[in-house]
Chain A
Amino acid sequence: MTTLAWWLIRAQFLSRRTATALSMLAIALGVSLGYAIHLINDAALADFSRAMKSVQGEPDAIIVPRDSAGHVPLALIDEIAGDESVALVAPVIETRVRLGRVPTAVKLIGIDVFSAALLMPTLLPREGAATSGGIFDGGLYASPSLLDDQGLRVGAGATVIRGESRWETHIAGDLPAMAAGEALLVADIAWVQAHFGPREGVGELRVRLMPGSHAEAWRAVWAKRLPPGLDIRAAADNAARISNISRAYRVNLNVLAMVALLTGAFLVFATQLTAVAQRSTQFALLGVLGLPPRMRLLQVLFEGLAIGLPGSALGLLLGYGMAVGFTRVMGGDLGGGFFAASTPTIAPELLPGLGFFILGCGASLMGALYPAWLNRIQPLAQALKTGFAQRPPGQASPAIHGRRLMLLAVAAAIPLLISLPAIDDLPLAGYAAIALVLVLGIAAAPVATNLAFGAMARAALPAPLRIAVQNVLQAPLMAQVAASGLIVSFALTVSMVTMVASFRTALDQWLDAVLPAPHYMRSKGLPLPAELLAAIERPDAPFARIERMATGSLSLDPRRPPAALLVREIDRADPGARLPFTGAVQAAPEGRITVWVSEALQEVHGLRTGQALHLPLLGRDVEVHIGGVWRDYARQFGAVVMSTGDYRALGGRFEVTDLALWPRPGSEDAARRWLATEAARHGIESAESGDIRRISLSIFDKSFAVTYALEAAAMLIGLFGLAVTLAASVWLRARELATLSALGFDRAMLARAVVFEGALIALVGLALGLAAGIAVGAILTHVVNPQAFHWRMPLHVPWNQVLPIALATLAAGMLASRFAARQATRLPAAQVLAGAQ
């Protein structure tokens, strides 16, 4: 029995080399893409966690202020250190500074050597490195990478600058345990505090508990006792936050992997269905000889698995290769810019690899399921006489009836699925809805064919065309098979194009709204130099209007990345002049702190305009009024805008980080020169709104480049699928064609009939693909993206891209059917007719 199975599989592979190879390739593509995304992201995360651990150690708890202007007070440090379960407290101040004139900001970590020695030994300076006074005397220590990059010399003087604060010190030594590529400075925590604050405490407190302590319980107890401005976290929360950062981006890449896998499954379906049809006589003969129906079912499944196994294995190899190649060339960043600095090592593990392998095999088995069932129920006697029966007798009406019911059920499930919320921030229901739309599209093919060509069949047409129409009408299953690949691949192409175009159009309009000024200046995360801020206000500066902004961060949920706090010179009475609101704006009530929250923040925390919100601000818990919700495509984790007046009223220090500048009319060139000089002098960024706009859009286009490549691959696979099935269906009808030929049809007429049939099938496929594609595009735009990124945008179908792709596909489909026609009509009619007897 096994021998027979092997023999059949081999024969199948040999006789349908192209189709089998394509199915394998599609499965491999899906598996490799998914696996590569997983490997790259995993490696980038591991790399990030490693770097984090070396800088942070592995504390049992981390106590941090919830907003960037807060601090951990000294009294609390003593209280926590005195807890009997605490073995060690390690206070840390982390800030970003510039070294002299070098424009790039560098991380400066203020440590206490006594605690750092136990918790964060990689941050310790080289022993005996001090040439003139050690770390307690205010020496600065630089990681080897930083020393190299900035050409620093141990013993040389150094000016550390942050906003208005300057610290004149010297490079006392290096940090020997710091990994290559890590650029940071270390100094004693008191020296950092004295120069850059916070005034009455430290930035962060890391806690190591006594061995055997119950860390989670301890954290829970302290979470209740902490003042409102502080959060307590597990070190693992940081990993979760990091994973959250890249999650939304991975969601979209995973959609692409799913696309490829589904295409593979449909190719397997098409290949196996034609294989079953073509071998119906052989199977019938084997059946008569004693092969049980169960074995006929299993055989087709085996064949599906025989495609899936090597395809998945190849996919794993390809995925590994892609991941290694990608990280070598591009580093660990998947295009979202979240891991831009990392160069991780790809380390495949058994379990995820196995998971993707099973996924690939599962896809091919799924594709083989229906053909296998059809093969099982073939009536032997009839198959021996007349070949493959698409509708086994007695099955016909219930099958059709059942199918209609199934279609209705599927259609009804879609709106239900898209109304479900994300699970663990993953739009799983949205994915399921996409898969259902595709299933629906394919299953609707026979119905659509009947509707479209039923009328046409009654019309007076030239004989070849009428034959083609009749063929498509009479053999809906083969038409469905041929169209399925096309439906899936075209639907996915249309959906991705639609999603990307919607996003791009929305981004374009949004950029108009958020870049009102001609010029912008900023110094990444650092306050701007006091000198510059003074210079810009002098009467000789060529500016008519200046708007200042200070950026900070605040954490509403310790498990999520912090939201941005933007303190802006904005008119409380008319915030709409500067923010693109998504709905109504409520007037800011007198005497109440008013904020305008971004859409992402609104979605994540379920906020409403007009409601009160508690925000961690300046180390306190402050109740604010939500004046409105605005659209923000720049900050995925949410942003809160507050006026400078309100921030100052709370007692905050307005440390300007960004400037928007309007030149005086007539002095545009002078302004440009002025800004270039000042930007170079202070080592900060200056850009015109046009440049920012161009760069933003080009980053957007680049990050979706991989999408376009995959769409092309999907279309190609879909077209091959069409060609393969058409060729098979023509081959099945060889006797019929030979009869027509005997009746006086010449080759050209026959070819025309087949090409027309191909065009009809392609039309059905394209029409259904378009419909399904727009539906999937809408799900991606309105469900998957908002759930993953919390960004909303209007749907925009780019007809100028969709229609040319459709036309090109139609042309390619007709070309493929011409090829199939030539193959089928090459045999002499007499031989075919004789052989069929």
Chain B
Amino acid sequence: MRRRSFLLAPLLLPGLAAAKAVTPYASARRGTQLVFPRDHGGHAEFRTEWWYVTGALDLPERDIGFQLTFFRIRSGSAETLDSPFAPTQILFAHAAVTLPGGRLLHAERAARVNLGAAFSATDCDVHIGAWRMQRTGADEHIRLRALDPGFAFDLHLTPTQPLLLQGENGWSQKGARPELASHYVSWPQLRVEGQLTLDKTHRAANGSAWFDHEWSSEVLGEAGVGWDWVGINLDDGGALMAFRIRDTSGATVYAHASLRDAAGQVTRFGPQEVGFTPLRHWQSPRNGARYPVHMEIRVGPHTLRTTPAIDDQEIITRRPLPVSYWEGLVRLDGALRGRGYLELTGYSGRMAL
């Protein structure tokens, strides 16, 4: 669940709130049949979309975390403007690397479509400058490229399992109201090979990753202020996704989880069957936010615990306004074991819309 973009959008685009009423955004409809590779591509008529890869490497070192996310936002502005680079479609990207026992490196980019950035509407292919996420080849591998003065990676992700359509055939409910929904496709257990560059030294890399692609126009109800989310590649080949949306008091507004076991059997859990309980907080020295980095998660009969690779995996983006959240590599223990990413948002104070 990458809903931070929904919080970002109005901040970045002051006109969005006004434009929303008149912009004919498409909505995520129950029963929509997703077609691939077409639906790996961008859905420009929706308000928000993201392609998101998180993973853990075993080479050059165990438990190096990485993530690369591309966001697409339909601003609602300049819809009828006759210009090849009218600011209707904006792309953002975040890239990060977690070094075990070290620190989190991260970088960001932003551009509008046709001024150094673009996305394909027919397959997964999105780029901002040299940063790119592109699905190619007969083996359907996904190539990731991100570079920054501090770090760079160039990775090939090869699928080992079929796609995992979240919710009902990819229609994922986000709240009690039926309009609050998205189209949500996951691809867990991707094999990773490629190159990681740290301090200008190139090193061979391998590991496993998780791909998410989600698009929607309205998912966040009035009550939500933030959310907790996990996407874990289980050691036995299974995959677990769980999220909850919190209100101002920290209580759960909505929650959902799905578990696909090694045999491919998918079990879904409703709001009553999913719970998140903080075990330990880490306080950010930068903005004082207290993130529950150590979490107990209940999914149906399973009780699980997350342990962060390092405590400080807070990301503060600055372009063009500061937004803070915690997004980091965690180890999952308990009834199920694995590695994946935990995302915690809305902890550095309520974001003004």
How many residue pairs link A and B with beta carbons under 8 A? The number is: 108
8 shortest A-B CB distances, which residue pairs?
A81-B116, A136-B77, A134-B14, A190-B83, A81-B129, A194-B83, A134-B15, A114-B110
Interface stretch among A16-24, A82-90, A544-552, A703-711?
A82-90
**Main DSSP-derived SS at the B contact region:** loop
Known: A190-B87, A210-B149. A136 touches B78 (CB 8 A): yes
Q: Can you show 17 pairs from A to B with CB atoms below 8 A apart?
A: A77-B115, A82-B116, A87-B129, A89-B115, A91-B115, A112-B111, A114-B320, A117-B320, A130-B15, A133-B19, A134-B14, A137-B18, A191-B83, A194-B82, A200-B84, A210-B148, A210-B149
Q: Mark A133-169, 1 if CB is under 8 A from B, else 0.
A: 1101110000000000000000000000000000000
A211 at the interface (CB under 8 A from B): yes
With A114-B110, A190-B83 as known contacts, state yes or no: A81 contacts B78, CB within 8 Å. no
Within the complex, what minimum Cβ distance (angstroms) separates A218 from chain B? 14
How far apart are A798's CB and chain B's nearest CB, in angstroms?
Answer: 60
Contacts of B165 in A (CB 8 A): none
A199-225 CB mask vs B (1 if < 8 Å, else 0) is 010100000001110000000000000
Residues of B contacting A78 with CB < 8 Å? Answer: 114, 116, 118
The CA-CA distance from A190 to B114 in the complex, in Å, is 11
Task: Report yes or no: A194 in contact with B81, Cβ–Cβ below 8 A.
Answer: yes
Within 8 A of B (CB), among A25-74: 74
Bound-state Cα–Cα, A189 to B113, Å: 13
Q: Tell whether A333 is near chain B: CB-to-CB under 8 Å.
A: no
B114 touches A84 (CB 8 A): no
- CB-nearest residue of chain A to B145: A84
Whether B127 lies near A82 (C-beta < 8 A) is yes
Report A-chain residues with C-beta under 8 Å of the C-beta of B148.
Answer: 210
Restricting to B89-118, which residues have a CB under 8 Å from any CB of A?
Answer: 90, 110-112, 114-118
Mark interface residues in A109-128 (1 if CB within 8 Å of B CB, else 0).
00011110110000010011
Number of A residues near B (Cβ < 8 Å) is: 40
**Complex contacts, A82 vs chain B, CB 8 Å:** 116, 127, 129-130
Min CB distance A469 to B, Å, is 85
With beta carbons under 8 angstroms apart, the residue of A81, A132, A189 that contacts B85 is: A189
Q: Smallest distance from the beta carbon of B149 to chain A beta carbons, Å?
A: 5
| B interface size (C-beta, 8 A) | 34
Asked if B147 is at the interface of the complex by the 8 Å CB criterion, the answer is yes
Q: Does B208 contact A (CB under 8 A)?
A: no
B111/A81 in contact, CB under 8 A: yes
Does B86 interact with chain A (Cβ within 8 Å)? yes
Check: A188 CB closer than 8 A to any chain B CB.
Answer: yes
Instruction: Report yes or no: B84 in contact with A133, Cβ–Cβ below 8 A.
Output: no
* Residues of A contacting B85 in the complex (Cβ-Cβ under 8 angstroms): 74, 91, 112, 189-190, 193
Known: A130-B15, A133-B19, A138-B78. 19 other contacts (CB 8 A): A74-B85, A81-B115, A81-B117, A86-B130, A89-B115, A112-B111, A112-B115, A114-B111, A115-B116, A117-B319, A133-B77, A134-B14, A136-B13, A138-B81, A189-B85, A190-B78, A190-B81, A190-B83, A211-B149
Q: Is B75 an interface residue (CB 8 A)?
A: yes
- Residues of A within 8 Å of B15, CB to CB, are 130, 133-134, 136-137
**Is B78 in contact with A84, judged by CB distance below 8 angstroms?**
no
Contact A115/B78 with A77-B116, A130-B15, A190-B83 known, Cβ cut-off 8 Å: no
Given contacts A130-B14, A136-B75, A137-B78, contact A74 B127 (CB under 8 A): no
Known: A117-B319, A136-B15. A86 touches B129 (CB 8 A): yes
Q: How far is the CB of A132 from chain B (nearest CB, A)?
A: 7
CA distance A188 to B77 in the complex (A): 11
Contact status B78-A191, CB under 8 Å: yes
Task: Tell me whether A193 and B77 are in contact (CB under 8 A).
Answer: no
B-side contacts of A132, CB under 8 Å: 18
Which residues of B are in contact with A by a Cβ distance under 8 Å? 13-15, 18-19, 75, 77-78, 81-87, 90, 110-112, 114-118, 127-130, 147-149, 319-321
Nearest residue in A to B77 (C-beta to C-beta)? Answer: A136
CB-nearest residue of chain B relative to A115? B111
A84 touches B118 (CB 8 A): no
Chain A interface, >50% SS class: mixed
Residue numbers in A under 8 Å from B75 (CB-CB): 136
Expressed in whole angstroms, the Cα–Cα distance for A47 and B78 within the complex equals 37
- Please indicate the chain A residues that have their CB under 8 angstroms from the CB of B110 in the complex: 114
Residues of A within 8 A of B319 (CB): 114, 117-118
What is the CA–CA distance of A77 and B149 in the complex, to the nearest angstrom? 22
Q: How distant is A131 from chain B, measured CB to nearest CB, in Å? A: 10
| Contact among B13, B14, B86, B147 with A194 in the assembled complex (CB-CB below 8 Å) | B86
Q: Roughly how many angstroms separate A88 CA and B108 CA in the complex, as a whole number?
A: 11
Which residues of A have CB within 8 Å of B127?
82
Please tell me if the beta carbons of A193 and B83 are within 8 angstroms of each other in the complex. Answer: yes
Tell me the complex Cα distance, A112–B83, Å.
13
Residues 74-102 of A, flagged 1 when their CB comes within 8 A of B and 0 if not, give 10011011111011110100000000000
Question: Considering the complex, which residues of chain A in the window 696-755 have a beta carbon less than 8 Å from any beta carbon of chain B?
Answer: none
Q: B320's closest neighbor in chain A, by CB?
A: A117
Q: How far is the CA of A86 from the CA of B84 in the complex (A)?
A: 23
Given known contacts A81-B116, A200-B84, is B320 in contact with A137 (CB within 8 Å)? no
* Nearest B residue to A199, CB-CB: B84
B129 x A89 contact (CB < 8 A): yes
CA distance A224 to B84 in the complex (A): 27
> Which residue in chain B gives the minimum CB-CB distance to A134?
B14
Complex: A132 Cα to B15 Cα, angstroms: 7
A136 and B74 alpha carbons, distance in the complex (Å): 12
The docked-state distance in angstroms from the alpha carbon of A661 to that of B45 is 55
Q: Is the CB of A133 within 8 A of B18?
A: yes
When chains A and B are docked, how far (Å) is the Cα of A191 from the Cα of B173?
Answer: 38
Chain A: minimal CB distance from B63 (Å): 28
Q: B112 to chain A: closest CB distance in Å?
A: 6
A210 to chain B, nearest CB (A): 6
A80→B117 CA distance, assembly (Å): 11
How far is it, in angstroms, between the C-alpha of A78 and the C-alpha of B82 when the chains are bound? Answer: 20
* CB-defined contacts of B115 to chain A, threshold 8 Å: 74, 77, 81, 89, 91, 112, 115, 189, 202
Residue of B nearest to A188 (CB): B87
How far is it, in angstroms, between the C-alpha of A194 and the C-alpha of B88 when the chains are bound? Answer: 14
CB distance from B157 to the nearest CB of A (A): 20
Distance, CA A134 to CA B319, complexed state (A): 17
Q: In whole angstroms, what is the CA distance A212 to B321 when docked? A: 27
> Which residues from chain B contact A128 at a C-beta distance below 8 Å?
14
Cα A138 to Cα B77 in complex, Å, equals: 9
Q: Are B14 and A113 in contact (CB under 8 A)?
A: no
* Docked CA distance A211–B150 (Å): 10
How far does the alpha carbon of A115 sit from the alpha carbon of B320 in the complex, in Å?
A: 10
Query: CA–CA, A200 to B85, complex, Å?
Result: 10
Question: Which B residues are CB-close (under 8 A) to A80?
Answer: 116
